[in-house]
Amino acid sequence: MIYLPQLTTLAESLSYHSSRTPHRTAVMTSEGDEVSYARLDRKSSQLASALTAAGVSEGSRVAFIGRERASYWETLFACVKTGAVLVPVNRALTAAEVGHILSDSDAVALVIDGDHPLRGTTGLAEFDATPETWDLWLEGYEPLATPFIPVPDTPVAQLYTSGTTGLPKGVVLAHRSWFGVRDALGEAGSDWITFEEGDICFVGIPGFHIGGLWYATQVFNAGQTVFSMPDYEPRAAREQFRVHRITNAIFVPAMMASLATLTPPDPEAFTALRQAIYGGAPIGPSVLEICIRVLDARFIQIYGLTETGNTACCLPPEEHYIGSPRLKAAGHPYPGFRVRIVDRDGSVLPVGEVGEVQLYTPNRMVEYYNLPEATAQTLVDGWILTGDAGYTDSDGYVYISDRYKDMVLVGGENVFPAEIEKEIVKVPGVEDAAVIGVPDEKSGEAVMAFVQAAPGRTPSTRDLVTFLRGQLAPFKIPSRWRFVDSVPRNSSGKILRRELREEFWAGRDRKVN
């Protein structure tokens, strides 16, 4: 197990590995790029010179819109060397959504893929990351002569929350956010998440997402190889696993499932895979069991938020076996991390009772950028108030019920939409479902379900209610139904409940009843 506690910033990590293993591949992509640690060090220093010449300095925000090619990771380390803060932007966002992030973050420079429609329109100092010209352009700059020297509390990244309930907020993370889990596991001698010499690590979660950026930094800190696939496609991804003998991977559940369910099977594709990490969305036990059988690796589920610097809890490999009762858990806090469940009054609840999940982690955010009131509401005495509803068991494992703010109050009974959605999608002929609360004069709120039928199928309301009667308490079964062509989700796969609720709650002073 690789554990290098002397490295406390990303600057130290790159310097250490570029001097000791300069020829080892730091970044490999499915497009054929291979960048050594020495080259990553040099190219990021050249980009740092270009950024400095454009006025970037300590604390400046540098946005990136593009795919996870080598240029993305070079931009990360260029920001490290100038003291700037990287602002990764989801390339699938609309022009208006991108505009909000660029404005809100006070970005002064933008590194942008050459094929992006916004290129040349932002008014910022733009740097064209077209793959065919990027390296040649960088060679026009000498490496930055005097790199900035960060400390663990120096901000280095600003990631925007998905914004399902309002405008996205910029979560500011410091260098320490990339080292807390490593130190917790290393000091405890735990093998929950490990790296070994020669690891090639598939980063399946996009780099603009906290999961992808966090895991890539863990690979860099260990001095191993990040494998990026700018455009994910299951069959092509499986071929990359087979050809490159990928040893570690991080996925969102849908991505992992798409690999495991490919037909015809390719038994040789995953024989090198040692460790599979997944998180970011729920996964059904039956789907997870398929992944366990097909991928045949050490599985680790991670749970956390952008605000917690990604993972704060982990469901370790020993709990991943077919039939394990813990497969429904989000995980256990890392050594030294803490969790508590509180009610609406802030009182800590006992084991088994549902309340808001709050997490204490050294990875926690610095702040929401330029939002002191929102920061004070989420970061309280070192605790991150997650907004998730859940409970703990007697061994300290955390179970997530739903988003706390999505809870529906039906005649005084708490109803969590995710619980109902999980059952609805089990009904034959249902492809997707979303549940919200709508105003009801009798019970305060009523449960309403939006159902997307599978192609060629037409389940009826009667079919749905009949199935749910054996699975849910009567007050949880939706009393109102609507069949839709698709359930609205954002680019991270989260249901856009705000969009669904708007029709029913418009014009009301309160969005609960």
What type of residue sits at position 206? Answer: P
Q: Would you give the DSSP letter of residue 363?
A: T
pLDDT of 168: 85
pLDDT of 510: 44
CATH of 413-505, one of 3.40.50.2300, 3.40.309.10, 3.40.50.300, 3.30.300.30: 3.30.300.30
Per-residue burial over 355-376, b if 16 or more Cβ lie within 10 Å, else e, is bbbbbbbbbbbbbbbeeeeebe
Has residue 485 got a pLDDT over 70?
Answer: yes
Quick check: 81 and 60 in contact, CB under 8 A? no
Quick check: 404 and 388 in contact, CB under 8 A? yes
Residue appearing with tokens 């932007």 = 89
**How buried is 351 (Cβ within 10 angstroms: 0-12 exposed, 13-18 middle, 19+ buried)?**
exposed
What confidence tens digit (pLDDT) does each residue in 149-175 have? Answer: 999 999 999 999 865 456 789 999 999
288's enclosing H/E stretch is helix 285-295
Top pLDDT among 231 and 18 is at 18
CA dihedral over 222, 225, 230, 231, signed as positive or negative: negative
What confidence tens digit (pLDDT) does each residue in 236-272 have? Answer: 999 999 999 999 999 988 889 899 999 999 989 999 9
Which residues, 6+ apart, have CB-to-CB distance to 451 below 8 Å? 424, 430, 432, 433, 459, 464, 481, 482, 483, 484
Worst-scoring range by mean pLDDT, 84-98, 143-157, 376-390? 84-98
pLDDT of 292: 92
What proportion of the chain, given as a percentage, has pLDDT over 90? 74
Nearest to 10 by CA among 78, 63, 68: 78
Task: Tell me the average pLDDT of the chain.
Answer: 92
Dihedral in degrees, nearest 10, Cα atoms 207, 208, 211, 214: 70
10-392 CATH? 3.40.50.12780
Q: What are the residue ranges spanned by the domains of the chain?
A: 10-392, 413-505
Average of per-residue pLDDT across 126-139: 95
What confidence tens digit (pLDDT) does each residue in 190-229 have? Answer: 999 999 999 999 999 999 999 999 999 999 999 999 999 9
